Structures are given as C-alpha cells and as structure tokens.
Structure 1
Amino acid sequence: MNDVFGRRRRADEETAQAVPEREPAAPARESGPWDAEEAHPESERVDLGGLLLPVGPGFEIQLTMSGDSIVGAVVLVEESALQVQAFAAPKRSGIWDEVRAELSREVAALGGTAEEREGPFGPELAAKVPAQGQGTQPVRYIGVDGPRWLLRAALSGRAALDPAAAETLEGVVRDIVVVRGDEPMAPREPIQLRLPAEARQAMEQEPEHEEFKPFERGPEISEIR
C-alpha cells in the first residue's frame, strides 16, 4: 500500500515539473501615455511622427526645435503650457530616476529650487526656475518610463500650481501615444518629430511671398544629452 502511494506521489511531482508555471498576466492599464504597439483608446490626435498628440478645444500647439530638428511639442491652453519630449531608453530599465536627479541639479545650478514629490504619474519635481527679469517661475517636471522610451513633460504657468488647471494638461499626458519605432537608438537620444501631413501640404501650397507658420517655436527647456 505504501508503495502505491509512493508511486502516485512521484507521478504527481513529475507532472507538476512537466507543466511550466505560467507568469501572471500583466494587468490592463487604464490610462497612458501609451506605446504605439499596445492597444490604446481612439482619440483625436495630431500625428507628429514620434508622438501622437491629443488635441482639444482651445488648444494651440507649438513645436520645440533643436537646430533644424523637431524634438518636442508644446500645448498651450488658457494660462497654462505643457511641453512634451520623448527619448530613447534601454530595453530593460527606465531612466526617469537618473534624469530627474540631473534636472534637480541643473535647476539648482541656475539658482532655482526643485523638490521631489509624488504626483499622478509617480515621482516628479516641483521646481522654481529663474526667469529673465521675472524672478522665478514654477514648473512641474513629470516623467513616464515606457518600453524603450521616456516621456518627459513640463507643466508651467497656472497649471504648475493650480490642480484644477493642471487636470486638462495631465489628461493630455495620459492620452499621448509614443511611436518609438524599431530602429536602434542610443539612450537619451530624442525621438524625432515631424510636421503633420496636412501642415506639410499647406506649406507647399503657400505662395512663396507669404510665410506659412503652422507652428511657432515653443518655449525651450534644457535638453537631455
């Protein structure tokens, strides 16, 4: 009798070893920012190549330039501004922790202050950045690590201090889609943006003597290198 139970126990152990343990399924996220390769809700977005940027009533969109390259976008609404930039990141680790520390040091070197706090997207920086002839201006630096990318956002103006004003622009961050692409990129390399197809066509159709300006140059923040 003991031998029968022994054989059964050994058989059960062998069966358990033969069946690999299943990894728990990753929970579906309720909000972004999203990666282009994952399922995300349909929304009205401007196609900037590396970013699909949500738009809403009263939004004005500007582009941030680095030389001749478009590396970021600015959303202006009422008395607030949101600047967003996407960067390449390693496959197995995020970079927001180290970038956040560097931003804090940069702000301090300019004579400002930066305090880390927990925000709706995780750790963020509440900073006061020196402004020419205006003392300091408040800025909230937000970062979200995605699959092989970092999305960095900066809230300024009224949204940097007023939660009600920030809510609209935080919603923009949650609905952004990052298009990283498959090409090899060095960590921290900016994910390049481009003008939407409609804007490019309009520029080509404009008479040469009339300068078409679909987007103006947006306010600059320190670049990640």
Structure 2
Amino acid sequence: MIFSRKGGSGRHAKADPRGQARDAFDEDLDDLDAAAEEDDEPRGGKSSRADGPYDITEAPEGIAQLDLGSLKVPAVDGVEVRVQADNDGKIQQIVLVSQDSALQLGVFAAPRSEGIWDEVRAEIRKQLFNDGVAAEEVSGDYGIELRARVRTPEGLTDIRFVGVDGPRWLVRAVFQGPAAADPATAPALQECLRNLVVERGHEAMPVREPLPLNLPKEVTEAGAESGDGAGDEAAEGANGTNGADGADARRKPSPRPRRK
C-alpha cells in the first residue's frame, strides 16, 4: 500500500452545461431527514446484487477492507493500493495495481430516482472523440462499457470505462493495460471491484459531485506525528480527473514509485 501527499486541494467535478438539473441538489432534499429511517430498499440503481460494488446497506460481512471514507476497498492478495492525498488527508486519486494492469476508482453523487452511467458514458465517449480517440461500446459484466486504445509516452495502451449505478451513487472504474482488453488477465482487480463497498451517507450533494474520500485516521495521525506526511513516495498511477465524466485516465502506472 502506498500513500502519497500533495499540497493544495484536489480538482473538482467539471461543470455540466446541460441545465439546472446538473447544478441542483439531489431530488430527495425535502425528505432527506426521513431517508435514514426508510426501509433499506435501494433506489436509483441496481439492488440485491450477487456481486458488488455494494451499497453499505447490502454489503456482505467478513471482507477485509481499507476504509477510505465513501469507498471501502477490499484487501486482495497481489493488489497494491496507491492513494494520492493532499496535506489534509483528502484523497484525490485511488489506483489499484496488479502486475501490468491498473484500476482507477471514483465515486460520485447521483439522483435518487435514476442512474446516470448512460449519460456519463456518452459524454466520456464524446470527450475521447474530441481528443482523436475512437471508443466502442461493448457489453460487460456491469452492462455497457467503453473501450479504447490511446497513445501514452510508453506507447499504445488499452483503457476500459465501467460504470455501476447504485442508490444515489455512481462508481466509475477505469481499467488500464491488459485488463482493459481482457478482464481475465487481472482477476484480482475484478475481485476488488466486485467486493467494493460504497457508503453514500444521507447528506445532500450536487449530482456528479465526488463523494468524500479520506485517508484512514491512523494514517493521518501517523503523518502528523512524523511531520512529513504518511508516505513520501509519489504513487505513479493512472492519471484521471475527479469529475464523473473525466476521460483522461491514460497513463500506464509505473511499477515502482518515485520519491518526491
């Protein structure tokens, strides 16, 4: 596990020009207080999944996890967790690495009544097209995915965008390297995604706003005591934006972290 710190604050979700619906708060503002007391039937996404990502209300017990706030990342043998955070412990990027493949994770607020992956996927595809990259839609384990091949400083690499709509959240997973072309080449990363847990909380948030991610308390406390942050190694992970429609996840992860 690698923790890296950066000064300053993280990037915010890209502003959406499609009208007031994007800038409005979730549809359930009026009954937000009552949401915590309702039955736990998920709304706005899939429910009763055989596999995750899971909402915290339906997650199975007994899975060892790294608690990063809104995301609980399962501990899987052979997977290195690379987390980049600012000096306040707020996470800007999560990348899981297994051999030559990487998986970048992001989680975002979504409306109560419906999922947003179809819309987000169309915008990612348009952004890739504007950058001169052709992307194709394919059927995957979680529905329609986007696959593309992009040029990086290391050469051509495959990327695959996967979206999972949950109750008032969207998980965006970006596979990079061999796992983008053939999921079977990185079963450990697939296992991480299947056992991922989202804790959305009941607070109102703008649609597509990244859900809060933070380093574990013991890590931030250890960094404060040492005076130089928890882990000075810079995690060379997939380079992606924080917005739900970000498509700039194209840099192949370096097998060894560099020191700042």
Whether TM exceeds 0.5 here: the answer is yes
Q: What's the counterpart of residue 219 of structure 1?
A: 238
Alignment of 1:19-38 (within 5 A): 28-38=48-58
Q: Write out the 4+ residue segments of structure 1 that deviate beyond 4 Å after TM superposition.
A: 64-69
Q: Distance in 2 between matches of 1:86 and 1:215?
A: 24
Query: Does the CA-based 8 Å contact 2:109-2:210 persist in structure 1?
Result: yes
Structure 2 CA distance for partners of 1:94 and 1:64, relative to 1, 3 Å: farther
Q: Secondary structure at the match of 2:186?
A: helix
| Structure 1 residue 139 displacement after superposition | 0.3
Structure 1 residues 211, 187: CA separation in 2 closer, same or farther (over 3 Å shift)?
A: closer
**Structure 2 Cα separation of the partners of residues 90 and 113 of structure 1:** 29
Instruction: Write the letter of the residue equivalent to 2:102.
Output: A
> 1:179 maps to what in 2?
199
Q: Contact 1:126–1:138 at 8 Å: present in 2 too?
A: yes
Structure number with higher helix proportion: 1
Matches within 5 A, 1:97-108: 97-108=118-129
Identity between Structure 1 and Structure 2 (%): 40
* Aligned residue type for 2:162: I
Q: Which one of the candidate residues 56, 59, 73 is aligned to 2:94?
A: 73
Could you tell me which of 204, 208, 216 is aligned with 2:224?
A: 204
Deviations 1:6-39 (A, max 9, x none): xxxxxxxxxxxxxxxxxxxx98431111011224
2:142 corresponds to which of 109, 113, 121: 121
Find the aligned partners of 2:220 and 2:121 in 1 and give their Cα distance: 35
Change (3 A) 1:191 1:214: farther
Q: Distance in 1 between matches of 2:212 and 2:187?
A: 27
Distance (Å, rounded) in 2 between the aligned partners of 1:219 and 1:67: 21
| TM-aligned CA distance change 1:114 to 1:222, over 3 Å | farther
Tell me the distance in 1 between the aligned counterparts of 2:207 and 2:159.
25
Q: Any idea what SS the aligned residue of 1:41 has?
A: coil
For 2:133, give the aligned amino acid.
G
Tell me the CA shift for residue 59 of structure 1.
Answer: 2.1
Work out which of the residue numbers 97, 109, 122 in structure 1 matches 2:130: 109
Q: Does 1:84 align with 2:114?
A: no
**In the superposition, relative to structure 1, how do residues 58 and 167 fare at CA in structure 2: closer, same or farther (>3 Å)?**
closer
Q: Alpha carbon RMSD of aligned pairs, Å? A: 2.4
Residue 93 of structure 1 pairs with residue 111 of structure 2: no
Distance 1:53 1:166 in 2: 16
Structure 2 residue aligned with 1:5: none
Partner amino acid, structure 2, of 1:182:
H
SS at 1:204's partner residue?
Answer: helix
> How far apart are the structure 1 equivalents of 2:229 and 2:202?
36
Query: Is the CA contact (8 Å cut-off) linking 2:147 and 2:160 kept in structure 1?
Result: yes
Aligned equivalents of 2:208, 2:186: Cα separation in 1: 27
If asked which structure has higher relative contact order (CA below 8 Å, sep 6+), I would say: 2
Q: What are structure 1's unaligned runs of at least 5 residues?
A: 1-25
Structure of higher CA gyration radius: 1
Deviates more, 1:174-183 or 1:54-63: 54-63
Secondary structure of 1:198's match?
helix
Native 8 Å contact 1:129 1:139 kept in 2: yes
| Corresponding position of 1:143 | 163
- In the aligned structure 2, how far is the partner of 1:37 from the partner of 1:214? 35
Given that 1:83 and 1:155 are in contact with CA atoms closer than 8 Å, whether structure 2 keeps it comes out as yes
